[in-house]
Structure formats: C-alpha cells, structure tokens
Structure 1
Amino acid sequence: MKRKALGAVIAQAAQAGIGLLLQILVARLLGIEEYGRFAILYGVVIVATAVVTGLVGDSLVVLERSQRAIRAGLELMLLITSVLLAVGSFLIAWLTGFSDVLESALFALALAAFAVEEIVRRMLIAHLSFVRTALTDLAGFVVALAVILTVHVTGTLTLAAFLGGIAAGQVAAAFFGWRLMPRSERHLVGLRGADLAAVWRYGMWRGLQQVLRPSLFTVLRLLVLAGAGLTAVGLLEAARTYTSPLILVISGLSSFLFVRFADQHKAGAGGSVREADRVVLFLLLGTVLMSVAAVVLIPWVSPLLFDVQVDPLAVIAWLAYGMSVAIVTPYGALGAVGGRQIAVFVIRLSDTILAIAAAVVMIALGAEASTLPFALAVASMLGGLGLRALVVSRGRPERPAP
C-alpha cells in the first residue's frame, strides 16, 4: 500500500510540476500581467477538466466498465462533454473580447485535449499504474516545451503560442498514454446502446463536486481582477503556484485513496474511517513541515521562479488552504465511493459558497488580495469536518450507483 501511495504522489507530482513549469515560463517570458491573463484561461481549462474527471474519470473507476453498454456510455459522455466545453469556452473568450479569434481557438483546442488526456490518465490510475501515468505527463510536456521554445527562438512568443504548445503536448500525451494502457483497455466500442444514464447518475454528482475547487479559484481570480487588476491576479496566482507542491501531495494521495476505497466497496468491504483519519493526520503533519520550509525559502526561491518576490502573507494564506484540503479529501473520497456522492457534493457546495461569500465581504471591506485565501481555508475546514461527520454517521447511506 505504501509503495502504491508513493507512486500516486509521484504521478501527481509529475502533473503538477509540469503545470508549475509552464506557469513559470509564462511569468518569466511574457511578464506578470500576461501571466495573470494566462492564469484565468488556464483556470477555466482546469475547471473543464474537472468536469470531465468527475463525469467520466470517477465513473470508470466505480462502474463496471467491462460491460459494453457502460463502456460505450463512458465514451459518449467524454465526446459530448469535451466538445460542448471546448465550443462554449471558445465563444465566451472570443465574444467577451478577452482573447482574439486565434487565441480563443487554441484555448478551446487545449481544453479539449486536456479533457481527453485526463481520461487516459484516469484509466492508468484505475490500474494503479502511477509510473506510466507520470511518463504520460512527461511525454506531453516535452512536446509542449519543444513547440514553445521553437516559437520563442524563431519568432515572437505570445500567449497564443503557449496555448498551442500546450494543446500539442496534451494530444501527444493522450496518444502515448493510450499505448501504455493494458491491451484489454485499449479498445473502443461502438456508441450504439450506450448506457449514458448510468454514467450520468453517478458521474453528475462527482463532476459537480470536482468542479467546485477550480471554480472557486477562478471566481477568486475574477474578483481580484475586478478589484485590483491583472497584476494583483498574477501576484496572488504566483503565491498559489509557489505552494502547489503541497497540494500535489494531497491530490496524489486522494487519487490513490479513491481507487482503493472503490476497490474495497466492489469487494463488499466498506472503506475504513480509521484509515481516513490516519491519512488526515499524516497529511497535516506533512503540511506543517512543508509550510515551514516554503516560508523560509521565499526570499531565494520565488525571485528565481517568477522574477518577483511573492507576498509572504499570501503564501501563508495558501498554505493554510492546503491544510484544509488535507482534511477534506480523504473523507470526501470515502463518502463518494460508498454511494453518498450527493451528500458529499452538498457539503462541498456549501463550503464553496461560504468561501465565495467571505471573499466578497473581505474585498468590500478593503482587505488585501493576499489575505483572501484565509477565507477559503476556513470554509474548507468546516466542510472537512462536515464530511467526517457524514462518513461516521450510522444513517442509512444513499443507494450506490449500479
């Protein structure tokens, strides 16, 4: 178990590290204002990917994808959601004037490629193939970096070029990861007879839950943009990116726990609340140690990464939010695989709304942008306590998805 958990962290580290490197490249090569604009677009991509992860990725782990109708339903759901999200994102970015036509088109292409590659990753994770998952992400990064550096050397580097490079990298990663999947998973079935309803019944709630955290970040960026401008967005995002190694460890263990709890549930053995408690304690201890190191290294590391020194208060605020995530994720995974995905979503929606409301109030009162993540942390911790109460309750659970 420990080796698989470490593999999950490594796989998540590869994905998050690649995202971190791409954001550092944008900040250093295009400037902090363009980085703020990239952060908003990239945030939308993460939101869309989260929708697909919940609808399709979590469903393929929990449902019996060996059944032809279920497999066809998963394929059809991926096709529908990726196309709709890409088209919608293109229209919003273009019609609002946030991006021109070319940039909006490359943005939509990158979004769709991210969605498909994420499902390839989830299929590998479902087989606990974490090393292959990391290799998939690295292959995509090499392609993206090659495109970006080629444009930088031979022409004028723009945000559109970054988006195009990311799209190319995700397409390459999806193909590479597909080749690494077990042969039994590599085939596609016809869409006739697809059981879209079964996928929707389970995946809808997971998709809604997965989208809450990236949506919260996107709303926060927009609030800061309206109140303080693109530079403030870039600085706040730089502080969040600086603390991202903490979140990647938590996310990696969360992916492992979700698969582990799902396998236990299929075998007729419910997940252990005691096991979730041990994971939370481990994550909290690790969070404290990593937070101390992150704060001490700010004067040396942040100028090297972003060409500016991040606000220490913003870093501490994001670290506090990371601690809250450590409380939330294990209990959320345990509740979701046990058929309580609706209740888990309601709790997470409640703490998300509370976080947004608190951030709005703080901005109205003139609070600095660097303090806003504290509001997110408090609301998230309350949600984590609610999720633990849910999984330890003796009430009758909701009927699991078939």
Structure 2
Amino acid sequence: MTRLTASYRTAAGAVAAQSSQALGAFLIMAVAARSLDLGSLGLLSVLYGLLVLSAATTSGFVGDSLTVLDRRSRSLRAGMQLWLIVLCLTCAGIVPSVVWIMDLATAPQALLLGLAVAAYLLEDVLRRLLMACMLFRRIVVMDLSVIVASLVVLLIADQSGELRVTSFLAAIATGQTAGAAVGIVMIPPTERTFVSLRGAQWRAVAAYGTWRAAQQSLRPALLTAMRSAVVLLVTFEASGALELARVYSAPAMLVVTGISSYLFASFARSRTVSLAQLLQRADRGVFALLSITAACTGVAVLALPAAGPLVLGSLPELSAVAGWLLYTAAVSAATPYGVLAAVRCSPARIFLIRLMDTAVSLGSVLTVVLLTGNALLAPLAAASGAALGGLAIRQLLLVPLRRHTTDITTVSTTPHERELENHA
C-alpha cells in the first residue's frame, strides 16, 4: 500500500510539474490573445512552435539520454554535455536566421528568438534531469520562476506602451533564463557537475539520442507544419483563430504530458520488471488518460460560452476547440505505448511508425484545408494519425516483443523447474 501511495504521489508530482510548465505557456498565450490581433497572434504561435520544436529535439537527444543511459559514467556524461552545447548553439543560430530570411520576423525579433531558444533548451534539459531524479516538486519551483519573470517583463512592456510580438519574445527569453538559473540551484549537488569533454562518448549518446530526438520532434514538427500550412493556404488570422482554440484546450493536454513524463521515468527505472507487466501498466495509463480527457472535454465544451471570453478575451470557435480536444484524446491513446517502446524497443522501428503516423496526420490536414478552406478543422484531421500510431506501436512492436520475451523465459526456466521436481 505504501509503495502504491508513493507511486500515486510521484505521478501527481509529474502532473504538477507539467501543469506548472503549461501554466506558464498558457498565461503567455492568454495575455497574447487579449493583447494582439489575430494576425500577430498567428505569427507568435508560429515562432513559439519553432521554439518548442527546438526544445523537443534537445529534450529527446539529451534529456532522454540522461534518463535512460548511465549519466554517472564520466565519458557518457561528457558526451551529453557536448551534444547539449552543440544543439543549443545550432538551434539558437539556425532558427532565428531562417525566420529572418523568410521575412517572418524583424532583426530584433529574430535576435530575441535566438536568445529564447538557447535559454529554453538549457532550462528544458535541467527539467529533464530533475525528472530523471523524480524531483518533480523542484521542477514546479523552476516553472514558477519562469512565470514570474515573464509576467514582470510583460507588465513593464505594457506600462511602457502597447504589447507587441517583440514584447512576448523578450518575456519568453527572460523567463527561460530565470528558470535555468533556478534549475541549476535545484538539481542535487551530485548532478551539478560539469565534467571535462575529453574522452566524451558522443557516438554512444548519439546512437540513442538521435532516434529519440527524431521521434520527439515529430509531434511539434506536425503542429508547426500545420500552423505554417494554415498561414500559407489561408492567412495569419486563421492561424491566430486556431491558436486561440488551442490555448483554451491546453489544460487537457497538460495532464497527458504530465502522466507520460512520469511513465517514461518509471519505465526507465523498471529494468527488472517484465514487459508484460509494463504493457499492462501502459494499458491502464491509456484508459486513465482517455477518461480524464473525456471529462476535460465535457467541462471545456460546456464552459466555452462563459470561460472563453473570460480567459482569452474572445470566444474561440467550437469546431476548433472540439478538434483540439479530439487530438488530445488521440495523443492519450498513443503516448503511453510510445514511451514504453522508447525504453524497451528498437528506436529505429519506433521512429518509422511515428514518421508514418505524422505523414498521415499532415496529409489529412492538407487535404481537409485544401478541400474545405476551413483551417479550424485542421486539429480534427491531425487526430487520425496520432491514434493509428499508438495502435501500431502496441500491436506491431510491444505485443510481439512481449511474446518473444515470454517464450525465452519459458524455455530457460522449464528445465530448471523440472530438475527441482526430480530432486524433490
């Protein structure tokens, strides 16, 4: 009973950690929805999507590596540090350069975006290190510092004049820098070590991290591609309306990501537990997430007429809200199997399945938007691939591996059992 209670507390801590991070993003975008026109909100959503995509790459490459690999090995730790430096510098240089060259942002906006990317990536890896240590309460402290610093910058900018996209980029950069500073203090002293890069096993880290980074970046890449397609095929204003509905629906997704973070750390620690038991745990996780998502959907739809204008300053479209909530349900049905497969299965095969389901989702989005001209149906179309991907990972990877493991166990233990019976 004590172990079960501890597991529930840890899971609750994981949800709280994801909630605090999501609260920061929610407040930023909620203030943006009240302060910016739909075109500027659409631009901010595209830039923020690129920020999240960069973080997903580093989180998968470095964050998952420090969770699964032996980070206490000096050479492996050096390899993780090396890749963190390389990825931070690369993303912080390439992303704003591309945005500026494509004339999506001004030079000051691109510079602030680069600073925000670098700070966001460092802060996210520190969060992942605390997750690997199961120190979720300390993550909440980090996230609260991000929220306070970001809102202070927005308050100062608002007092100085009208809030613009530049104001929000400055707030994000400042908030993430503050979170990273607090995170360095929050991590345990044994983890707060920077080893020499000499002899770094960067190939060993890359062998695992490359596939995880590719897999982790698929969903943010899908959302970024969806927003970009809406901008190209319709308008920035349509992307802004889509973002308005996503922000309103965001609380449901934070529960999914919170429990999934806990499951990943839990599966990584359960090296001696059989795959059959872990698959049952993943099944229960899917059932719990779908139940929670269904409850959130009912509350969100019923409260929309009053809560939408109260929180965001305007009423999001019901079709877009329903589409985002259905997309959240599809992610609920897929993510627990994905994180279990990340610990026990071939990363290349996982990536192949996830790439295919992302292609299905993006193809559905393009088809629906082109045929109907209604950008608000995009998240509804994207849900199809996410649900199929989760089912494919379970049935094509986890179930056959479970059977194979059971067969090996049966063959190896039966002769021993018979020998004991003969002696008896």
Q: TM-score, normalised by structure 1?
A: 0.96
The equivalent position to 2:307 in structure 1, one of 296, 301, 307, is: 301
- Tell me the residue number matched to 1:380: 386
The equivalent position to 1:55 in structure 2, one of 50, 55, 61, is: 61
Q: Deviations over 1:160-214 (max 9, x none)?
A: 1221121111111111011011110011111111111111000111101111111
Shift of residue 274 of structure 1? 0.7
Answer whether contact 2:230 2:239 (CA < 8 A) is retained.
yes
Q: Is 1:29 matched up with 2:35?
A: yes
The equivalent position to 1:150 in structure 2, one of 143, 150, 156, is: 156
CA distance in 2, matches of 1:157, 1:314: 26
Q: Deviations over 1:260-300 (max 9, x none)?
A: 100112x4654611111111111111111110110001101
CA distance in 1, matches of 2:281, 2:155: 46
CA distance in 1, matches of 2:184, 2:163: 31
- Tell me the residue number matched to 2:243: 237
The equivalent position to 1:258 in structure 2, one of 255, 264, 271, is: 264
Give me the identity figure in percent. Answer: 37
- Tell me the residue number matched to 2:107: 101
CA distance in 2, matches of 1:61, 1:162: 32
- Tell me the residue number matched to 1:194: 200
Q: TM-score, normalised by structure 2?
A: 0.91
- Tell me the residue number matched to 1:400: none
Answer whether contact 1:117 1:170 (CA < 8 A) is retained.
yes
Q: Deviations over 1:289-343 (max 9, x none)?
A: 1101100011011112222211111111111111111111110111110142221
- Tell me the residue number matched to 1:391: 398
Q: Is 1:12 matched up with 2:12?
A: no
CA distance in 2, matches of 1:137, 1:236: 26
Answer whether contact 2:245 2:317 (CA < 8 A) is retained.
yes
CA distance in 2, matches of 1:307, 1:285: 29
* Letter of the structure 1 residue corresponding to residue 121 of structure 2: A
Answer whether contact 1:13 1:252 (CA < 8 A) is retained.
yes
SS at match of 1:365: helix
Alignment length (residue pairs): 396
Q: Deviations over 1:4-36 (max 9, x none)?
A: 111100100110111010001112122222111
CA distance in 1, matches of 2:197, 2:163: 41
* Letter of the structure 2 residue corresponding to residue 90 of structure 1: P
TM-align CA RMSD: 1.3
* Letter of the structure 1 residue corresponding to residue 240 of structure 2: G
- Tell me the residue number matched to 2:227: 221
Q: Deviations over 1:67-105 (max 9, x none)?
A: 110111111100001110110012111111111111100
Distance 1:396 1:56, change over 3 A: farther
- Tell me the residue number matched to 1:67: 73
Q: Is 1:287 matched up with 2:298?
A: no
Range that drifts further, 388-397 or 314-323: 388-397
SS at match of 1:253: helix
Range that drifts further, 115-124 or 157-166: 157-166
Q: Is 1:315 matched up with 2:321?
A: yes
Q: Is 1:363 matched up with 2:369?
A: yes
CA distance in 2, matches of 1:367, 1:36: 17
SS at match of 2:193: coil
* Letter of the structure 1 residue corresponding to residue 245 of structure 2: A
Shift of residue 157 of structure 1? 2.9
| Higher radius of gyration, 1 or 2 | 2
Answer whether contact 1:242 1:302 (CA < 8 A) is retained.
yes
* Letter of the structure 2 residue corresponding to residue 70 of structure 1: L
* Letter of the structure 1 residue corresponding to residue 400 of structure 2: S
Answer whether contact 1:280 1:327 (CA < 8 A) is retained.
yes
Provide runs of 4+ in structure 1 moved above 3 Å: 267-271, 394-397
Range that drifts further, 26-35 or 342-351: 26-35
The equivalent position to 1:342 in structure 2, one of 336, 345, 348, is: 348
- Tell me the residue number matched to 2:95: 89
Q: What does 1:324-339 align with in structure 2 at a 5 Å threshold?
A: 324-339=330-345
Shift of residue 156 of structure 1? 4.2
Answer whether contact 2:24 2:146 (CA < 8 A) is retained.
no
CA distance in 2, matches of 1:124, 1:50: 17
Shift of residue 233 of structure 1? 0.5
Structure 1 unaligned spans of 5+: 398-402
